[in-house]
Amino acid sequence: MARRKKGEPVSGWICLDKPYDLGSTQAVGRVRRLFNAQKAGHAGTLDPLATGILPIALGEATKTVPFMMDADKTYRFTLEWGRTTDSLDREGVTIATSDVRPDVAAVEAALPAFVGTIDQIPPAFSAIKVDGERSYDLARAGQAVELKSRQVTIHSARVVGTPDLDHVEIEMDCGKGTYVRAVCRDLAEALGACAHVSQLRRTRVGPFREAGAIGLEMLEDFGHKARHLEVLLPVETALDDIPALALTTEDAFRLKQGRSILLLPRQVETLTARLTPGSRTVSAMSEGVMVALCEMRAGRLEPSRVFHLDKSGD
């Protein structure tokens, strides 16, 4: 007899506005306990010193996390001139100082060099593994860490504020794997200055945006009032750029059994027109409920991830 899983089979996404000084894993734990969910995970780590959007998946939504890991993101951050730290943020140890204070025009002139597909060396204080160890653990232990450069994509970067001569605020849209602190490091170097990130906020992860986010305290208040399910977003929220196909009951049953289904020529034509370049992934729906994520091959849909949801989304 199979053991019953602990917790409730609740499924969906929470668009959490993570507070300052809380780790992503800690945030997931608190949300999971609030919903008493059987499974939980997050889509993209956010540093404890950063605030903003941390999408948290519960139950069957955890099967869509890989799609969110590749999602584009938007950050709004503040550079503080005059001091470079080992961690490239305000909590680090000062390793260099400078009296250079680049003006807005200089920053705006330098930013285009960071837009596009560029080579970026991740900060030593990052979660990248080096010989099985986290880079930040080695860096905190005083060991010299040399990380290889990697290609990242920055779609846009612009100055959005200048509170005073010591600070400049920048907003950046970027692809996966981009480090804001590395942008700060390289921008300061290009301008002959010292700087670190004094504030960092993530304002978007794919379809998850500030306007739809909820703070942890408010979410927990909803939980005390037994209203927390009101803010649970559908599993398919993470799949907004993946075309959906409505199925017959018979085809939905076949997919749930792990079997492929044959598409009509017009269905193939419609889906092909809606697929993003290089993708074959289709979301299969039945009566408004997610049935499976499928790959379209040779006129058939082959299930890659099957979901177990009812009409309420649980």
The reply to whether 73-205 shares the fold of 12-70+208-237 is: yes
Q: Is 137 a catalytic residue?
A: no
Q: Which of 47, 173, 186, 251 is catalytic?
A: 47
Q: Does 4 score more than 70 pLDDT? A: no
pLDDT mean over 2-20: 86
Instruction: State mean pLDDT over 48-76.
Output: 94
Mean pLDDT of 86-111: 95
Pick the CATH number of 242-306 from 3.10.450.720, 2.40.30.10, 3.40.50.1100, 3.40.50.800: 3.10.450.720
Q: Locate 46 and state its tokens.
A: 């956010």
Sketch the domain layout of the chain as residue ranges.
12-70+208-237, 73-205, 242-306
- DSSP character for 124? S
Interstrand relation of 300-306 and 244-246 (parallel, antiparallel or unpaired):
unpaired
pLDDT above 70 covers what percent of the chain? 95
**CA–CA distance, 267 with 288 (Å, rounded to integer):** 18
Contacts of 271 (CB under 8 A, 6+ apart): 243, 245, 263, 282, 296
pTM above 0.75, yes or no: yes
pLDDT in tens, 19-45: 999 999 999 999 999 999 999 999 888
pLDDT of residue 228: 85
The domain covering 73-205 belongs, at the CATH homologous superfamily level, to: Pseudouridine synthase (3.30.2350.10)
Mean model confidence pLDDT for the chain = 91
The CATH number of the domain covering residues in 12-70+208-237: 3.30.2350.10
Confidence at 1, pLDDT banded by 50, 70, 90: very low
Burial of residue 166 (CB within 10 Å: 0-12, 13-18, 19+) is middle
